[in-house]
């Protein structure tokens, strides 16, 4: 039917939405200004246009601020601004076993989620991809699976952040050679820039650290600004027996509910291009990886002096190391495997918990019935 560009103005956005509805639109997509800062006006505009919001903040990559609303019978979606640069991946969650939508009931359309997917496929957005999962956090299992495929790829991680940023320190994202991303560091122009930088790094097999200030200059390039700053580590992972063994050991530790610490030796200058040698150090001092780790760092790990989940840069003499604790996921115990327990388990999985469901009814509490997206069981 067409598209229309308006300024960051609620009334102009409302008028454009109403115009499309009056022209007979069956589906409306609004992109940009979808975060929670004062100058992110799109959600307010959709509500002012008469939108009944079904959900807001549902997982859509890149970025996390997806909105679904209805104005009468017309679905209106708000998409993260990075959709203009990187095709969004929508997480519409469906339970084949029950045949029910687990995202949210839409009283207007018994099969609303399916209908929206069909309509989204016709949008003029490049590389539109659909995923049947509700996982935004990148897992070490995903990294291991990419290593096992044998092709180099990039891993981006937020080293530090200050002020208001879409995501916090420790958030990670994989960039594959074809431009596909797994996980997210927050969407917007920063994520798009990091993705493009990673694509140039993969053939060179090097690493880089870059800082971003989320200011008005970035906003001019794309309608997303949070007012903070962040520093991103971008590294190329080249599959090989040693690196694969490091992540295999890390995944094994996670599955056993035990902690490990990733210690990466920085080879080169952090102000330019460099490489990393990754090692996994266990609390007992055991090291898996290609390079020796200085004794003081191993002693600090034994003494549990590294906490949290985000990476930090440490200097040891003339050498520098990036150290990231890898604690196991917190465990949530759910008593009762009925429909409430099922939905709670899905939410716990989405928020990063390891879930244990307890019920004396075997037909309810079993791994098949509770197999969660992105998890092995």
pLDDT one-digit tens code per residue, 102-117: 333 333 343 444 444 4
- Please provide residue 54's backbone torsions phi and psi, each rounded to the nearest 5 degrees: -85, -50
Q: Which residues, at least 6 apart from 365, have a Cβ–Cβ distance to it below 8 Å? A: 337, 357, 358, 359
Cβ–Cβ < 8 Å for 310, 324: yes
Burial of 148 by CB count in 10 Å (0-12 exposed, 13-18 middle, 19+ buried)? exposed
pLDDT one-digit tens code per residue, 198-234: 999 999 999 999 998 876 555 444 444 456 788 999 9
What is the Cα 319 distance to its own chain's centre? 31
**339 three-state secondary structure:** helix
Q: Which residues, at least 6 apart from 228, have a Cβ–Cβ distance to it below 8 Å? A: 161, 162, 163, 164, 165, 214
Q: Which of 127-136, 147-156, 317-326 has the largest mean confidence?
A: 147-156
Q: What are the CA-CA distances from residue 353 to residues 13, 76, 343, 350 (Å)?
A: 39, 32, 14, 8
The token duo for 251 is 């995944």
Nearest CA among 291, 290, 302 for reference residue 260 = 302
Please measure the distance between the N-terminal and C-terminal CA atoms of the chain and give it in whole angstroms. 44
Domain ranges of the chain: 10-131, 140-237, 257-326, 329-377
Please check the confidence at residue 196 and state whether its pLDDT lies above 90.
yes
Q: Within 175-326, where are the H helices?
A: 188-201, 216-221, 241-255, 295-302
Q: Which residues, at least 6 apart from 265, have a Cβ–Cβ distance to it below 8 Å? A: 276, 277, 279, 291, 293, 319, 320, 321
Distance in angstroms (rounded) separating the CA atoms of residues 343 and 346: 5
Distance in angstroms (rounded) separating the CA atoms of residues 83 and 157: 21
Provide the edge-to-edge strand list for the sheet that holds 89-91: 60-61, 89-91, 129-131
Distance in angstroms (rounded) separating the CA atoms of residues 259 and 158: 21
Q: Which residues, at least 6 apart from 57, have a Cβ–Cβ distance to it below 8 Å? A: 64, 65, 66, 67
Q: Which one has a higher pLDDT value, 137 or 202?
A: 202
pLDDT one-digit tens code per residue, 261-316: 999 999 998 888 999 999 999 999 999 999 889 999 999 999 999 877 788 889 98
Please check the confidence at residue 91 and state whether its pLDDT lies above 50.
no
Q: Which one has a higher pLDDT value, 371 or 79?
A: 79
- Find out whether the peptide bond into 199 is cis, omega within 30 degrees of 0: no
Distance in angstroms (rounded) separating the CA atoms of residues 274 and 235: 9
**115 three-state secondary structure:** helix
């Amino acid at each position: 039917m067409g598209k229309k560009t308006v300024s960051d103005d609620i009334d102009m956005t409302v008028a454009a939405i109403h115009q499309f509805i009056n022209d007979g639109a069956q589906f409306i997509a609004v992109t940009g200004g979808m975060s929670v800062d004062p100058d992110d006006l799109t959600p307010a505009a959709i509500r002012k246009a008469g939108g009944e919001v079904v959900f807001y903040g549902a997982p859509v990559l890149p970025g996390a601020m997806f909105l679904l609303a209805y104005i009468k019978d017309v679905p209106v979606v708000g998409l993260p601004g990075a959709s203009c640069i990187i095709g969004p991946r929508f997480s519409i969650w469906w339970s084949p076993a029950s045949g029910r939508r687990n995202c949210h009931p839409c009283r207007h359309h018994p099969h609303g989620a399916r209908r929206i997917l069909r309509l989204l496929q016709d949008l003029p957005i490049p590389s539109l991809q659909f995923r049947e999962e509700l996982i935004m956090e990148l897992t070490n299992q995903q990294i291991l699976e990419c290593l096992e495929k044998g092709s180099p790829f990039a891993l981006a991680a937020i080293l530090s952040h200050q002020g208001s940023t879409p995501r916090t320190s420790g958030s990670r994202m994989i960039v594959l050679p074809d431009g596909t991303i797994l996980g997210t560091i927050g969407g917007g122009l920063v994520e798009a820039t990091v993705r493009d930088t990673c694509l140039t790094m993969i053939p060179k097999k090097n690493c880089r650290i870059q800082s971003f200030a989320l200011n008005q200059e970035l906003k001019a390039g794309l309608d997303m600004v949070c007012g903070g700053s962040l520093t991103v580590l971008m590294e190329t992972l080249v599959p090989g027996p040693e690196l694969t063994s490091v992540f295999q050991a890390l995944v094994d530790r996670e599955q056993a509910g035990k902690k490990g610490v990733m210690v990466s030796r920085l080879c080169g200058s952090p102000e330019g291009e460099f490489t990393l040698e990754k090692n996994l150090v266990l609390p007992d001092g055991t090291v898996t990886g290609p390079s020796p780790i200085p004794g003081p760092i191993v002693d600090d790990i034994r003494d549990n002096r590294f906490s949290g989940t985000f990476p930090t840069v440490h200097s040891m003499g003339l050498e520098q190391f990036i150290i990231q604790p890898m604690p196991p996921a917190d465990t949530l115990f759910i008593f009762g495997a009925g429909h409430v327990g099922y939905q709670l388990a899905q939410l716990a999985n989405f928020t990063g918990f390891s879930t244990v469901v307890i019920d004396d009814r075997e037909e309810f509490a079993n791994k098949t019935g509770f197999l969660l997206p992105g998890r092995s069981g």
